[in-house]
Amino acid sequence: MQKLKTVAYLRVSTSGQDLEKNKADILLFANDRKFGHVDFVEEKVSGKKHWKDRKIKTIIDKLGAGDRLIVPELSRLGRSMLEIMEILSVAKEKEICIYALKGNWELNGTIQSKLIAMCFSMAAEIERDLISSRTKEALKARKAAGVKLGRPKGPGKSMLDPHKEEIVALLKNGTTKTWIANKYNTTLPNLYNWLKKNKIQG
Say if CB 95 and CB 64 are below 8 A apart: yes
| Rounded CA separation 40/8 (Å) | 5
Q: What angle do CA 98, 100, 106 make, to 5 degrees?
A: 55
Choosing from 13, 75, 121, 132, which is the catalytic residue?
Answer: 13
Catalytic (active site) residue 13: yes
Task: Provide the strand spans (E) within 6-142.
Answer: 6-12, 39-44, 68-71, 97-100, 105-107
Any idea what DSSP says for residue 181?
A: H
Any idea what DSSP says for residue 6?
A: E
CA Rg, the chain, in Å?
20
Say if CB 173 and CB 167 are below 8 A apart: no
Cβ atoms within 10 Å, residue 17: 11
Non-local (6+) Cβ contacts of 116 within 8 A are: 105, 107
| Rounded CA separation 98/96 (Å) | 6
* Residues belonging to the active site: 13
